[in-house]
Structure 1
Amino acid sequence: MVHMAPWKAFLVIAICIAGFFTALPNVLPNDMRQAVQGMGFLPSQPLNLGLDLRGGVYLLLEVKVDPVITDRLKGRLPGLRSEFRKKGVRFTELNVKGDTLSVFIPDEADRVDAKTVLDSLSSSITSMVALGFNTKDLEVTEDQGRFTVKYTEPAMVDLRKQVIEQSIEVVRRRVDGGGVKEAAIQRQGANRILVQVPGLEDPQQLKTLLGKTAKMTFHLVDDSVSASDVAANRVPPGTTLLYEQPRNPGEQPIPVVIRDTVIISGDMLVRAAGGYDQQSGQPIVSFAFNMQGAREFARVTRENVGKRFAIVLDKDVISAPVIRTPILGGDGQIEGGFTNKTANDLAVMLNAGALPAEISVVEERVVGAELGADSVAAGQVAAIVGLCLVVEVMALSYGLIGVFANVALLCNLVLLAGLFTIFQITLTLPGIAAFVLTMGMAVDANVLIFERIREERALGKGVIASIDSGFERAMTTIIDSQLTTLLAGLILIAQATGPVRGFGVALSLGIVTSVFTAIWVTRLCVVQWLKTSPKEIAL
């Protein structure tokens, strides 16, 4: 028998009311919206429109690849020194300048061993530049005892491509980690990235998020350097003078001499999150290492109790605490005079990963809507006309229960708008298409139910029995069809990017709301009607 438990009816009504309030900021004037938002239970922003409907921020970024090549070669210097010493090779002038590593071997007898060591730095790569054949990534040349090491042309091409692709992926995770802002991020030219983010009106907000490399490293501090040497910028080889930013306004930066050897790098991080220190209540960034990082961190802190280590972010010392006891858990926190926003922004950047190269802004501007006002107005009129036609057809075809279906349809649109608003999902033309599609799917579910009720009435069953059988027997078909469409939406979310992924998000949410409203809201209306007038139903 058609029945709905009181708690289920209350839950359906509560969900619909919640959807109404979350969608409410989209129809209120700005002054009234700000007044109501002060109550604390409404979303802080209305529905976020995309570049094609509202406009946004346009940035053209340039990736500086050449310093990456220099850093890669410098990273080979410690291992090279160790191998030379193992083989007893005397060497001088071991350094890296630009894209070239060079070393001078004064003793001719050592040059064969030196060439062997340098050749061992190279590894085989398969490059399209080399027509798919294996080639070396480094080439070694000699001129009267001076050896030079450079990347081969195929290796340079592959390295540049890798850096650009990694930069694009990191930018995408920072700007649109959830995939719902529908940001347009794509490569332009040899070493540039085009970024367009809808809804933003201030380019500085985006530049702040992207401007830092977010390369975090841990180094031991060399406290043996005197203050006079630091003032004169005289530091021992293998160390670098950096500065710790003051925590209070008006104070001077604190000089810190760090050892160049990286103890732990940021790629060993598995999690970073903004929070508050339990004792001081100040904003912090907590982090956790992977197993390799945790073991290395435990070893270093165990062997250097009483010494200082520095947490370095983009060549700035965030903190340089003293190691009081070994840190064995692989967890830690960064205290650096953060605000709640800066702590959360740093956590976002660390979770997204470090940019493999420094980027600079070549061009910035605020762009207008890609579609003209006439096109937007025409789209609105088309959507309203389509909705009115659907409502009219349902009412004329199914009478009173068609009206119930229309009520459910309106609830579906309100719930979907509320979800878009509360999660700040960007609405573009593909999103509007998903809106319209879910509208049709919501009505389709009701049509299946009502046609089944018609069949049961044609067989001579009573009103209540027909309605009960209609809902029960149509359920399998509804669930099967909606699950198939939901699967397609989830595939779009997993595989696509930009507006296509946004379409998948809107479609998936629309399926959930349409199933809820088509089954439960319509059922609630029918149950309430049966309690007052159960004699006959016009179909």
Structure 2
Amino acid sequence: MGGWLKFRLIIVLLAWIFAILFLLPTISGKSLGFLTKDKIRLGLDLQGGTHLLLEVKTEEALLNFLTRLKNEMMDSLKTKRIFALEGEVVNGKIELLLLNEEMIPPFEKFLADEYPNLKIEDVKRVGDRVKITLNLDPKEKQNIENSAVDQALETIRNRIDQLGVTEPEIARQGERRILVQLPGIKDPERAKAIIGKTALLEFKLVDEEHDLQEALSGNVPEGSIILYGIRRDKTTGRVVKIPYLLKEKTLLTGDAVKDARVAFGEFNRPYISLSFTSWGAKEFERITGENVGKRLAIILDGTVYSAPVIREKISGGKAIIEGDFTLEEARDLAIVLRAGALPASLGILEERTVGPSLGKDLVEKGVKAVIIGGLLVLVFMIIYYRFFGIVADLALILNLLLVLAVMVMLKATLTLPGIAGLVLTVGMGVDANILIFERIKEELREGKPYKAALDNGYSRALLTILDAQITTLIAALVLFQFGTGPIKGFAVTLSLGILINLFTAIFVTKAIFDGLFQVRVLKELKL
């Protein structure tokens, strides 16, 4: 037996060993210590779970950024003695009202030095005042929107990790969309609530200098806002909104929070215990030290949870959030605070939920379809091509095993359309073998010797096989590139099946036949 033939037969043997070892954990639940313990990953349609396609509302992130920028500018202008009477964000632009025209030159210098990304778009006289419209550089706007999607992606990933979901898929799609797939999740509504909660934590001072009732009548003082707290009557279940007049300026945000845990207070009521970062602890100590005797409101997503009086400077980097929480609400709130705030709210564009019983049923039916279809093909090949059909069947089985083994190795996900791709792979594998065997028949009818007929059959069928397989592969790659979800699952298994088909139908079967001829087990071709 020649060296090249031995090498080919060793490759075939290694292919069988590779396939069996990588599928061992899936088949038996056990694995050899030096190899992967991964099993075939089943998609949502096969094991149940939730599929969400989310869209980040990047215009909100831009609005939040411009609002913070406007507040920061108003404070800086005061220290520079450049008198700006009011400021607001309108249609993605900052509008400032300067005291008079004399403020324009120092303002322009201030803008060039401190905020080079802001450009003056318009200057209008409003009586004795001057209204200036500022626009953010388009590249900076794009950076803010991209950063918002990236931050949302990371925040969602952190929240899902803390939920304990195994093997979730979280990926960015397009400019503003995020795909979230949560296999095997038992409470999809809770997962959606945790993922979608903005969790913007803010600390603001209560405005005790102005009258709340007057503000509620429509006369909200400049630099103040009205927010509401919620109280629930435990006997009637009635929800009451409590108004608060707050300073608009945010003194501290959730960025300063290092950890959030559920703790229990009087009467075993749950509350959230916050720990600040080293910077946050210093800032919280400074804020409380400068505002002793004032009330500090703790706000989450625009709702005031508490507004205690600051009795003394608070050091140690600790704070608490109290409210009418159930234990699960407190736990979920702690999760989102630990994971960080979303830079903007999320919209759900697409949602699908598959129950575990339906997923199990689909797996059983899919496997049954593959087995029945595969057995019919195997029996047909043996009846029609006899011994050659047996070799082709072994190649088909190896093909399927290798596709599944490679999917385990690549951590790819098997979906219901993926099973359809496997069935199609079987058909294409059979097609390749039939082309080869029919070419061999033609060679034999022309009176060629057995070995020459075998070699010519493979060589002359090769171009036809490559043409059919490569054109299908191109279509599969297009599906993978532009498809989503189930379509990609079909494209993955079909692509792997086509590539492995070329190996099994041409390389494997030819090596087996050459080996059998070499040891004189196969002396003639009966087709």
TM-score (norm 2): 0.57
Which of 363-372 and 193-202 deviates more?
363-372
Aligned with 1:54 (options 31, 47, 52): 47
1:91 corresponding residue in structure 2? 83
Kindly provide the amino acid, as one letter, of the partner of residue 507 in structure 1.
Answer: L
For residues 483 and 155 of structure 2, what CA distance do their matches in structure 1 show?
13
Does the CA-based 8 Å contact 1:181-1:424 persist in structure 2? no
Aligned with 1:382 (options 348, 369, 376): 369
Query: By how many angstroms is 1:43 displaced?
Result: 3.3
Query: By how many angstroms is 1:164 displaced?
Result: 12
Matched, 1:449 2:441: no
2:183 corresponding residue in structure 1? 198
Kindly provide the amino acid, as one letter, of the partner of residue 38 in structure 2.
Answer: Q
Matched, 1:396 2:391: no
Query: By how many angstroms is 1:434 displaced?
Result: 0.7
Query: By how many angstroms is 1:71 displaced?
Result: 0.6
1:104 corresponding residue in structure 2? 97
2:12 corresponding residue in structure 1? 12
Kindly provide the amino acid, as one letter, of the partner of residue 525 in structure 2.
Answer: I
For each residue in 1:498-524, what CA deviation from the matched residue of structure 2 results, as whole angstroms up to 9, or x when unmatched? 111221111111111111111122123
Does the CA-based 8 Å contact 2:54-2:350 persist in structure 1? yes
1:209–1:403: structure 2 CA closer, same or farther, 3 Å change rule?
A: farther
Query: By how many angstroms is 1:393 displaced?
Result: 1.3
For each residue in 1:74-117, what CA deviation from the matched residue of structure 2 results, as whole angstroms up to 9, or x when unmatched? 457889999x99xx9943246557977443322245579989x9
Does the CA-based 8 Å contact 1:244-1:255 persist in structure 2? no
2:25 corresponding residue in structure 1? 25
Query: By how many angstroms is 1:255 displaced?
Result: 3.6
Matched, 1:477 2:464: yes
For residues 361 and 258 of structure 2, what CA distance do their matches in structure 1 show?
52
For residues 349 and 499 of structure 2, what CA distance do their matches in structure 1 show?
43
Instruction: State how many pairs are aligned.
Output: 389
Query: By how many angstroms is 1:41 displaced?
Result: 3.6
Aligned with 1:532 (options 515, 520, 525): 520
Matched, 1:70 2:64: yes
1:147 corresponding residue in structure 2? 131
For residues 200-215 of structure 1, the aligned pairs below 5 Å read none
Does the CA-based 8 Å contact 1:203-1:364 persist in structure 2? no
For residues 479 and 172 of structure 1, what CA distance do their matches in structure 2 show?
46
For residues 125 and 56 of structure 2, what CA distance do their matches in structure 1 show?
30
1:418–1:79: structure 2 CA closer, same or farther, 3 Å change rule?
A: same
Matched, 1:515 2:509: no
SS in 2 for 1:440: helix
For residues 172 and 274 of structure 2, what CA distance do their matches in structure 1 show?
40
Aligned with 1:430 (options 405, 411, 417): 417
Aligned with 2:279 (options 243, 256, 259): 256
Does the CA-based 8 Å contact 1:70-1:97 persist in structure 2? no
For each residue in 1:300-342, what CA deviation from the matched residue of structure 2 results, as whole angstroms up to 9, or x when unmatched? xxxxxxxxxxxxxxxxxxxxxxxxxxxxxxxxxxxxxxxxxxx
1:80–1:10: structure 2 CA closer, same or farther, 3 Å change rule?
A: farther
For each residue in 1:373-424, what CA deviation from the matched residue of structure 2 results, as whole angstroms up to 9, or x when unmatched? 6665444333222111111111111110111000000000111111222323
1:168–1:364: structure 2 CA closer, same or farther, 3 Å change rule?
A: farther
1:327 corresponding residue in structure 2? none
For residues 117-136 of structure 1, the aligned pairs below 5 Å read none
SS in 2 for 1:526: helix
The answer for unaligned runs of 5 or more in structure 2 is: 161-166, 199-248, 260-272, 282-338
For residues 204 and 447 of structure 1, what CA distance do their matches in structure 2 show?
52
SS in 2 for 1:525: helix
The answer for unaligned runs of 5 or more in structure 1 is: 124-135, 214-236, 259-345
For each residue in 1:410-449, what CA deviation from the matched residue of structure 2 results, as whole angstroms up to 9, or x when unmatched? 0001111112223232222210111011111111111111
SS in 2 for 1:397: helix
For residues 18 and 253 of structure 1, what CA distance do their matches in structure 2 show?
51
SS in 2 for 1:197: strand
Does the CA-based 8 Å contact 1:167-1:355 persist in structure 2? no
SS in 2 for 1:104: strand
Kindly provide the amino acid, as one letter, of the partner of residue 66 in structure 1.
Answer: E
For residues 505 and 194 of structure 1, what CA distance do their matches in structure 2 show?
18
For each residue in 1:215-249, what CA deviation from the matched residue of structure 2 results, as whole angstroms up to 9, or x when unmatched? xxxxxxxxxxxxxxxxxxxxxx9997974849xxx
Kindly provide the amino acid, as one letter, of the partner of residue 37 in structure 2.
Answer: S
1:253–1:112: structure 2 CA closer, same or farther, 3 Å change rule?
A: closer
Aligned with 2:393 (options 375, 390, 406): 406
Kindly provide the amino acid, as one letter, of the partner of residue 494 in structure 2.
Answer: L
- Considering only aligned residues, what root-mean-square deviation do their CA atoms show, in Å? 5.6
For residues 396 and 439 of structure 1, what CA distance do their matches in structure 2 show?
17
* Larger radius of gyration between Structure 1 and Structure 2: 2
1:194–1:141: structure 2 CA closer, same or farther, 3 Å change rule?
A: farther
Does the CA-based 8 Å contact 1:50-1:199 persist in structure 2? no
SS in 2 for 1:478: helix
Kindly provide the amino acid, as one letter, of the partner of residue 16 in structure 1.
Answer: W
For residues 110 and 91 of structure 1, what CA distance do their matches in structure 2 show?
7
1:281 corresponding residue in structure 2? none
1:43 corresponding residue in structure 2? 36
For residues 182 and 443 of structure 1, what CA distance do their matches in structure 2 show?
35
For each residue in 1:163-213, what CA deviation from the matched residue of structure 2 results, as whole angstroms up to 9, or x when unmatched? 89957995899699xxx98889999xxx99784433556879988996899
Matched, 1:489 2:476: yes
Does the CA-based 8 Å contact 1:62-1:192 persist in structure 2? yes
For residues 125 and 33 of structure 2, what CA distance do their matches in structure 1 show?
69
